[in-house]
Each structure stands twice: as structure tokens, then as C-alpha cells.
């Protein structure tokens, strides 16, 4: 079937990526994975340069020779979650009723196992990751390889993040709760095969450039992906102390005596396909519109019409501060969906959404007990204005980030995002309560 191409205005983020990618590059102050529990020999650990979910903890060294090393590290999360939704349906932006599917379940929610180390040259690092999500019966085995030429240049290949929200760039799992909050989950990109370069552009100013197959490889195989690549760039500035705690995460677990600050900017552009023939459900599921509907679903923008391709453009700015057990972080997001290729006419040429997330935390008992509050809001094309208020408590039984107990409360209105990964169901209005325990060693 011949498609109808509907072109929207090219967003400013495309030009921004191009200009930054052309800038001269120099240097990485790569932050190592969290050293808890403490160990003296850390040379064989895979550096937490920016990979987030693919950077292990300290782990245990099984083999170390002149020709290579092998370390094993594990993350696990068990969670009870109950979503008290108001009603069993929601209305999308076209006025159609859609079912809401609130959850009430107990799950060993997520497992990671990392095999990491170096071979032949300590600068040549490998990471073999086993990821399992029992809630969706998904288990994946994948890898990442990087060469640390110097602190100025690190080159890598493998499964890597698209450089969007700060939470996909190394802070996991050191968040306030055990999953992302509404706004960052809605706007962020995912993980995909690609290559990256990262380093220190100027003193305490780091850059990362990434080129990936698509916005998210989950569910999209090589056979059904379109031949277009995704491009992203990130800048991170830590002007006062040159660091922001372990993994640049939330919580002033280190109890900074000097104010630690972090400022960042991320941008991405890509051409995305639905990953399935027209008439079949889309395999591409990362992108949602603000009514919680996948834009690649048939009828998402007009009855019986299917979007087969679109352009995704993204820009965000973030800032954070930590001091004597207090921490505050915020991020503002901009997103454009445009250049729709469809099977028929649709009423929109582009969709522009923006929004923010802010979270504050206080370590009430240093290295033991923290309380936090989170808020988020989306200013969207459809004027639905999704928002949330959340809060919770983190308790660390061994005064270490290696084991955490978490109680989390959410009140969300018209959630624009939803999955079995995180806290939200698309279209949900209501309350979510979560009790969780996670480990990282």
C-alpha cells in the first residue's frame, strides 16, 4: 500500500545534535561502579562510564591473570505493587474509551547478572549481561565492549542507551525508588545496539556521543527494523567537586561537606518504524503519546489509519545539588513527534510535548534511612496535563547501598506511560503503593 507522508517542522534538537557532534572532543573522568561492599582491588571492574543498567557492582573476582580477568556481579529486585485505579477505563485524545488494566501483584521483578573484566590489555573491557524480567517472561543475553584509550577517550560497542533522560546514563539503581518516575519514563529513550564515544571535553565537563539502531531494541529484531539510525549526545558538568556521588545517583549517601553540583544537557534524533506489517500489532513500544496510546497502533491518530514511520526528536536539561545529606534533582524535557508516514490522512502534522520531573531527598539517618518526595508534570499537545506526586522511604540495613528496603507511594492523574517494567499503567488515574527490596553486589 502506498503511504501518505506528512511532514512537520524539523525540531531544534536536530540542529543542536549536529553542532555538538562537530565540536572538538577531548577526555573521560569515568566513575567506577559502586565499590560497596569495599574491596581493595578494583582494577578489573567494568567502569560505569554511562551505561546505567549495564554497569555492575563491585562483585567478586573469579579469575585474574596477565591475560585477562573475570568478575561476577548480581542485581535483584522483589516488589509488591498495587495500583488503585479510578475506574477500569480511560478516554484517549480522540474521545474513545480504552481499558485500563491496574495491577495487584507480587513479583521477583528483575534480575541482572554481569560477567565483566578485561582481556589481554586492561584498557580493553568486556561486559556480558544476563537480564531477566519475569513479569513479561523475557530473558536476554547481550554484551558491551569498550576500549579505554585514556581518560580523554573511551570507545565502546554493544547494547548502549540512547542519551536522553539522565536516568538511562549511569545512575541506576541509585534512584529515589526502585523504578523511574512518570515524566522521565514518558519522555526517555531506550537501549539499543550501537557504538559510543565518551570523555572529558574540559575539566569536569564530560561528553558522550552515541549512534544506535533505533530508540529501543526491545521487541524489535533486525528483520523488522527499518534501515535508519538514532543519534544522541550528552554533556554533563560537575563544577564544584567534579563528582556527584556513586553513579551520579540521587541521595547524598556520601554526606558531602562541600556542595556537589551537576548540570546536564541531552539530545536525540531518530527515524522510527513500527517494527511490524500493517494489520499486526506494532513491535515498537517505547514511544507513547500523552494519552498513553502507542502512536504506531492502528487508529492512534485517526480511525483505521496506521502510522508506519515517524521522526523522534528530544532535548532535555537537568540540574542537581547535594549537601550534608540533602539532595535535589530536576530535569526538563522537550519532545517532538513529526514527519508521519501513514496509510491515510491524519489530523496532525506533528506532536509537541514538554514537561518536568523534580525530586528531593534527605538522609535522615546517614547511610541508613532516607525520605524523599517526587513530582512530575507534562504539558502536552492534547491538553490532558498528566501529573503525579510521589514519596517514599529508603532503608539500608547494612549502611550500604548494596541492600535496600523501599516503600513508595504514587498519586498519578492520566498517566501518559505504562508497562510491566515500572510503576504505571497507561491512562491510569489513582494511587499506587509499592513495597520492594533490591540488592546489588
Q: What is the pLDDT of residue 12?
A: 43
Contact between residue 193 and residue 158 where contact means Cβ atoms under 8 Å apart: yes
The domain tally of the chain equals: 1
Domain of 275?
4-440
Non-local (6+) Cβ contacts of 158 within 8 A are: 54, 127, 142, 143, 144, 145, 146, 193, 194
> Which residues, 6+ apart, have CB-to-CB distance to 282 below 8 Å?
274, 275, 276, 294, 296, 297
pLDDT score for 420: 83
Q: Which residues in the chain show pLDDT less than 70?
A: 1-54
Which among 389, 186, 410 has a CA at the least distance from the CA of 290?
Answer: 186
What cell numbers appear for 272 in the block? 522510527
CA separation for the pair 341, 358 (Å, rounded):
35
Nearest to 64 by CA among 80, 81, 45, 79: 45
Question: 210: left (phi > 0), else alpha (psi -120 to 50), else beta?
Answer: beta
Euclidean distance between CA atoms 313 and 292, whole angstroms: 18
**Lookup result for grid cell 566513575:** 31
Q: pLDDT tens, 334-343? A: 999 999 999 9
Helix (H) or strand (E) holding 17: helix 12-21
**pLDDT value at residue 406:** 98
Alpha-carbon distance of 77 to 169, in angstroms, equals 20
The pairing of beta strand 121-133 with beta strand 191-202: unpaired
The string over 344-353, giving b where at least 16 C-beta atoms fall within 10 Å of a residue's C-beta and e elsewhere, is: eebebebbbb
Instruction: Give the Cα separation of 408 and 432 in Å (integer).
Output: 8
Distance of CA 17 to the CA centre of its chain: 19
* Measured distance CA(18)–CA(64) in Å, rounded: 42
**Beta carbons of 337 and 311 less than 8 angstroms apart:** yes
Which residues partner with 361 through β-bridges? 327, 372
| Contact present, 388 and 416 (Cβ < 8 Å) | no
Residue 33 burial class via C-beta count within 10 angstroms: exposed 0-12, middle 13-18, buried 19 and up:
buried
pLDDT score, position 54: 62
Buried b (16+ CB within 10 A) or exposed e, 181-196: bbbbbbbbbbbbbbeb
Is residue 52 helix, strand or coil?
A: helix
Q: What is the pLDDT of residue 30?
A: 30
Cβ–Cβ under 8 Å, residues 226 and 252 = no
pLDDT tens track for 120-160:
999 999 999 999 988 888 888 988 899 999 989 999 999 99
Of the candidates 220, 209, 231, 235, which has an alpha carbon nearest to the alpha carbon of residue 274? 220
pTM of the model: 0.88
Contacts of 40 (CB under 8 A, 6+ apart): none
Nearest residue to 62 (alpha-carbon basis) of 50, 71, 54: 71
pLDDT value of residue 39: 37
Given this model, what pLDDT does residue 35 score?
37
Task: Retrieve residue 163's grid coordinates.
Answer: 542519551
Q: What pLDDT shows up at residue 381? A: 96
What CATH number is attached to the domain comprising 339? 2.40.160.10
Q: Which of 50, 28, 51 is nearest to 206 (CA)?
A: 28
Task: In whole angstroms, give the CA distance from residue 213 to residue 215.
Answer: 7
CA dist 104 → 3, 101, 339, 412, 434 (Å): 42, 10, 39, 16, 10
Cis ω before 109 (30° cut-off from 0): no
Long-range contacts of 402-405 (CB under 8 A, 24+ apart): 402/34, 402/36, 402/37, 402/57, 402/439, 402/440, 402/441, 403/437, 403/438, 403/439, 404/178, 404/437, 404/438, 404/439, 405/436, 405/437
- Phi first, then psi, for residue 364 (nearest 5°) are -65, -45
| Residue 134, pLDDT score | 85
Amino acid at each position: 500500500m502506498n503511504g501518505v507522508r506528512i511532514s512537520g517542522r524539523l525540531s531544534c534538537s536536530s540542529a543542536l545534535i549536529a553542532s555538538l557532534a562537530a565540536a572538538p572532543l577531548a577526555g573521560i573522568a569515568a566513575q567506577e561502579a559502586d565499590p560497596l561492599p569495599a574491596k581493595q582491588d578494583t582494577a578489573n571492574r567494568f567502569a560505569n562510564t554511562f551505561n546505567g543498567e549495564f554497569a555492575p557492582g563491585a562483585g567478586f573476582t573469579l579469575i585474574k591473570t596477565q591475560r585477562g580477568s573475570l568478575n561476577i556481579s548480581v542485581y535483584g529486585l522483589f516488589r509488591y505493587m498495587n495500583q488503585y485505579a479510578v475506574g477500569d477505563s480511560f478516554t484517549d485524545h480522540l474521545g474513545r474509551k480504552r481499558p485500563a488494566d491496574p495491577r495487584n501483584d507480587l513479583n521477583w521483578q528483575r534480575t541482572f547478572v554481569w560477567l565483566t573484566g578485561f582481556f589481554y590489555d586492561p584498557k580493553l573491557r568486556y561486559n556480558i549481561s544476563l537480564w531477566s524480567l519475569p513479569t513479561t517472561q523475557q530473558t536476554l543475553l547481550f554484551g558491551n565492549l569498550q576500549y579505554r584509550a585514556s581518560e580523554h577517550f573511551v570507545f565502546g560497542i554493544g547494547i548502549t542507551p540512547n542519551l536522553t533522560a539522565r536516568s538511562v546514563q549511569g545512575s541506576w539503581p541509585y534512584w529515589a525508588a526502585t523504578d523511574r518516575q512518570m515524566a522521565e519514563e514518558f519522555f526517555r529513550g531506550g537501549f539499543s545496539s550501537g557504538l559510543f564515544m565518551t570523555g572529558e571535553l574540559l575539566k569536569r565537563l564530560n561528553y558522550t556521543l552515541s549512534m544506535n539502531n533505533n530508540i529501543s531494541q526491545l521487541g524489535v529484531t533486525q528483520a523488522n527494523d527499518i534501515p535508519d539510525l538514532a543519534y544522541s549526545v550528552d554533556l554533563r558538568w560537575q563544577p564544584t567537586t567534579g563528582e556527584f556521588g556513586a553513579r551520579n545517583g540521587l541521595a547524598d549517601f556520601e554526606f558531602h561537606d562541600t556542595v556537589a553540583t551537576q548540570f546536564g544537557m541531552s539530545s536525540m534524533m531518530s527515524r522510527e518504524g513500527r517494527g511490524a506489517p500493517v494489520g499486526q500489532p506494532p513491535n515498537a513500544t517505547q514511544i507513547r503519546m500523552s494519552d498513553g496510546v502507542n502512536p504506531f497502533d492502528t487508529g492512534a491518530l485517526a480511525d483505521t489509519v496506521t502510522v508506519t514511520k515517524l521522526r523522534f526528536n528530544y532535548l532535555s536539561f537537568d540540574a542537581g545539588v547535594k549537601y550534608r545529606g540533602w539532595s535535589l534533582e530536576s530535569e526538563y524535557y522537550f519532545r517532538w513527534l513529526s514527519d508521519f508516514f501513514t496509510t491515510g490522512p491524519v489530523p496532525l502534522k506533528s506532536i509537541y510535548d514538554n514537561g518536568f520531573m523534580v525530586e528531593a531527598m534527605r538522609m535522615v539517618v546517614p547511610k541508613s534511612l532516607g525520605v524523599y518526595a517526587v513530582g512530575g508534570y507534562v504539558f502536552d499537545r492534547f491538553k490532558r496535563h498528566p501529573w503525579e506526586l510521589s514519596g517514599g522511604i529508603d532503608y539500608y540495613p547494612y549502611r550500604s547501598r548494596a541492600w535496600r528496603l523501599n516503600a513508595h507511594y504514587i498519586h498519578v492523574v492520566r498517566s501518559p506511560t505504562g508497562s510491566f517494567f515500572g510503576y504505571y499503567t497507561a491512562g491510569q488515574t489513582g494511587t499506587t503503593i509499592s513495597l520492594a527490596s533490591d540488592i546489588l553486589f
